[in-house]
Amino acid sequence: MSPDPARPGRARFGLARFRGPIRRVGRPVVERATALIGSLIAVRTRAPEVVLTFDDGPDPTGTEEVLAALAEHGATATFFVLLTRVRQHPELLRRILAAGHEVGLHGVDHQPLPRFDAEATRQRTADAARELTELTGRQLRWFRPPYGRQTLANWRGIRAAGLSPVFWGPTTWDWRDLPQQQRVAKAMEGARPGAILLGHDGFAAVADGADADVTHTLDRHDLIGQVLDRYRAKGWRGVSLGRALESGRPIIAGRFSR
C-alpha cells in the first residue's frame, strides 16, 4: 500500500534543523520555496476534473473491479504499478492500457525509498522504468514513492532516472478496515477539480517488500463507483494525470520525509 498506515496520506518535510523556521513561516511558504525541488501534488485547472490514481497493482481481483467501475462511469485513471505484480500478471497491464488508462511506476517492489541513497534509488528506478517501458511500449513520466516517503536524496535519484514523483491530496482510506461509507466520505475530503485521489487496485504484501500484509476484504467496484457518483453529482469527472495536464498545469511542492 502507498501511505504509511501510521501517517496516512501525509509525507513530512523532514529536515529537522528547519522545523522551527517552518512553523514560523508556515507550510504554504515552505512549499513555494521548495517548488524547484518538489513533487507534483495536484493540477491547477479550470476543467471539472479530479485525477484518479491507483497503486500496488495489478491484482487479479482488485484491478478488474476498478476497471469495471471506471468503464461504467466513462472515467480514466493513472495506475502506479509494481514490477513484482506486473511480472505475475502481464495480461492485466495490457488490459489497463487497452482500456485507455495511463501507467506510472510505483517501484520494482514496495520497499520504502529512504532505505536507499540517491544512486541506489536512481539505479533501481531507471532499471524498473526501462523494463516497464519495454512492456508497455510507452514512455513513462510518473513515479509514486511507496508509502509516500522520499528523502531529498531519493527525489534526486527519481529525477535522475527521468521520472517525476507524484503525491496526492484526498484518499479513499481503502487500506483501512472501515465501513464503506466512511471510506467514501474520506475520499470527498479535499476533493476538488485538480485534486489527485489516492486509491489502490491491490495491496502490496510482504512478498512485494511491504512492511505488512493487508488482510481485510474490500469491494473496490462499489467504492470507486460511489466516489464517482459523488463526483458526477458535483459536475466533475475522473481522469488520468496525463489527461488533466492537457489543459492544466502541475502544482509542485516539497514532499520529504525520513
Active-site residue list = 55, 200
| Residue 119 C-alpha from the chain's centroid | 23
Round to whole Å and give the CA distance between 128 and 106.
Answer: 9
What values do phi and psi take at 128, rounded to 5? -65, -40
CB within 8 A of 229, min separation 6: which ones?
73
SS3 83: helix
Which CB contacts under 8 angstroms, 24+ apart, belong to 29-33? Answer: 30/254, 31/253, 31/254, 32/253, 33/254
